[in-house]
Amino acid sequence: MFADRVLSGMRPTGSLHLGHYHGVLKNWVQMQHEYECLFFVADWHALTTHYDTPRIIEQNVWDMVVDWLAAGVDPANATLFIQSRVPEHAELHLLLSMITPLGWLERVPTYKDQQEKLSEKDLSTYGFLGYPLLQSADILIYRASQVPVGEDQVPHIEFTREIARRFNHIYGREPGFEEKAKAAVKKLGGKKAKLYNELRIRFQEQGDEEALESAKSLLDEQQSLNYGDRERLFGYLEGGGKMILSEPQAMLTAASKMPGLDGQKMSKSYDNTITLREDEASVTKKIRTMPTDPARIRRTDSGNPDKCPVWQLHLVYSSEQAKQWVMQGCKSAAIGCIECKQPVIDAVLAAQHPMRERAQQYLDDPALVRNIIADGCEKARKLASETMRDVREAMGLSYT
Ligand code: TRP
Ligand code: SF4
């Protein structure tokens, strides 16, 4: 219903590695040219699980922003900010908590899963239970239409949609909604008003989804409608009240296939990562010492790339031609493993080179990063306070 606005957040719990790059950041970099994008550091979310090690969060916040910038996220094309610097998120979280049934939170699959997975931590806290609701507040406060996330986060987006619906259902029925909606229909002008009414009836009486879609696009085209009327007309169409909060869509990012140094998925917990800006000597050493097909004990033994983690890296980084060279060379023992690894080392270093270069200016002058974030927080707060005005009003909190 609105121009697409994309929002996503990342918890600052450790250095970013090439898995984050191929799984998430590459996507962000591309999306920033296609949509209005907001990306933020979810430091409060990190506290829900790391409340007893706050220093970890502190250290990682700025490094993570530098990593984003290094990867090519561009502050001229995307708004970058820190969650805790937009306290409106906390206010919305609190207000939404009033209408959030406990059972909904307890049923979010990540709740039990994470408690079990992180069993060394005491996660039977109020904050941790509220994790998905805080995430809903993050999303709803910007009226984001698209939320790029991995598969594991889909239940959180679904939960957010339910919260938005419940909120609109409870608070969208402003006094005199019908009359106000009818007055708004009139403002569309004779022909369009008639069309709107016809489409609305077709949808409400016959469940005609096409009519609903046409009516929505009719509304999308009306530039002159004010925000309140626009919301009423969308709400009136589907029979509910005014839509104060809009339901987001999950934008599934394909799971990163980025393999780690041992062939498992790259992940900090497997200790098999290459960090985004890792220094050249260390990258070289890590790849040189990677395990290979165990059948290749001697240089003259032939191997099978399908059984070798190095091959997985070739799949990410190498050209068709290079891959053929590996396939044939490995199977016929024409190449050795060190030789085979060299193009991977070269490719990883080449991909990291511009990242290291972009990062350098920010490392030399940390004030640049602080300023980017200060700007982003200011922009974010402006957007957030617009939504909060409507939410407070709907909840009876805008006394004069
Ligand atoms: N829960 C998300 C994760 O762990 C991080 C996050 C917090 C987020 N708030 C968000 C992602 C809002 C998207 C939108 O990855
Ligand atoms: Fe792996 Fe390459 Fe050695 Fe074959 S030649 S085992 S693909 S490193």
Atom of ligand 1 nearest to the CA of 135: 9
- Identify the domain containing residue 70 by its residue range: 5-172+250-256+366-394
Same-domain status, 168 and 183:
no
Task: Name the band, by pLDDT with cuts 50, 70 and 90, for residue 2.
Answer: very low
In a domain, 245, yes or no: no
* Residue range 165-181, pLDDT digits in tens: 999 989 987 778 888 99
Same-domain status, 84 and 148:
yes
> What is the average pLDDT across 2-13?
89
* pLDDT number for residue 3: 67
- What CATH number corresponds to the domain at position 12? 3.40.50.620
Same-domain status, 157 and 294:
no
Write out the chain in H/E/C secondary structure: CCCCEEEEEECCCCCCEHHHHHHHHHHHHHHCCCCEEEEEECHHHHHHHHCCCHHHHHHHHHHHHHHHHHHCCCCCCEEEEEHHHCCHHHHHHHHHHCCCCHHHHHHCHHHHHHHHHCCCCCCCCHHHHCHHHHHHHHHHCCCCCEEEECHHHHHHHHHHHHHHHHHHHHHCCCCCHHHHHHHHHHHCCHHHHHHHHHHHHHHHHHCCHHHHHHHHHHHHHCCCCCHHHHHHHHHHHCCCCCCCCCCCEEEECCCCCCECCCCCECCHHHCCCCECCCCHHHHHHHHHCCCCCCCCCCCCCCCCHHHCHHHHHHHHHCCHHHHHHHHHHHHCCCCCHHHHHHHHHHHHHHHHHHHHHHHHHHHHCHHHHHHHHHHHHHHHHHHHHHHHHHHHHHCCCCCC
Top mutation candidate among 10, 96, 163 for ligand 1, by most atoms within 8 Å of CB: 10
Same-domain status, 231 and 345:
no
> What is the average pLDDT across 192-211?
91
In a domain, 85, yes or no: yes
In a domain, 289, yes or no: yes
In a domain, 263, yes or no: no
pTM: 0.86
Same-domain status, 30 and 153:
yes
* pLDDT number for residue 252: 87
Dihedral sign, Cα of residue 50, residue 26, residue 158, residue 153: negative
Task: Name the band, by pLDDT with cuts 50, 70 and 90, for residue 14.
Answer: confident
Same-domain status, 19 and 82:
yes
Task: Name the band, by pLDDT with cuts 50, 70 and 90, for residue 70.
Answer: very high
Ligand 2: distance of its center to the CA of 22 in Å?
A: 23
In a domain, 399, yes or no: no
* Residue range 232-268, pLDDT digits in tens: 899 898 876 778 999 999 998 776 678 999 999 999 8
The mean predicted confidence, pLDDT, of the chain is 94
In a domain, 243, yes or no: no
The strand pairing partners of 115, in sequence order, are none
Same-domain status, 160 and 197:
no
- What CATH number corresponds to the domain at position 356? 1.10.240.10
Ligand 1: distance of its center to the CA of 380 in Å?
A: 16
For the chain, percent of residues with pLDDT exceeding 90 = 82
C-alpha 67/C-alpha 60 separation (Å) is 10
Same-domain status, 311 and 208:
no
In a domain, 242, yes or no: no
Same-domain status, 359 and 375:
no
Say whether pLDDT at 153 is over 50: yes
Report the number of distinct structural domains present in the chain.
Answer: 3
* Residue range 271-327, pLDDT digits in tens: 999 999 999 999 999 999 999 999 999 999 999 999 999 999 999 999 999 999 999
Same-domain status, 226 and 290:
no
Ligand 1: distance of its center to the CA of 9 in Å?
A: 5
* pLDDT number for residue 108: 96
Same-domain status, 21 and 163:
yes
Ligand 2: distance of its center to the CA of 348 in Å?
A: 17
In a domain, 97, yes or no: yes
* Residue range 84-113, pLDDT digits in tens: 999 999 999 999 999 999 999 999 999 999
Same-domain status, 78 and 203:
no
* Residue range 110-145, pLDDT digits in tens: 999 999 999 999 999 999 999 999 999 999 999 999
Top mutation candidate among 318, 326, 342 for ligand 2, by most atoms within 8 Å of CB: 326
* pLDDT number for residue 19: 93
Give the list of residues 6+ apart from residue 211 with CB closer than 8 angstroms, or none: 198, 199, 200, 202, 203
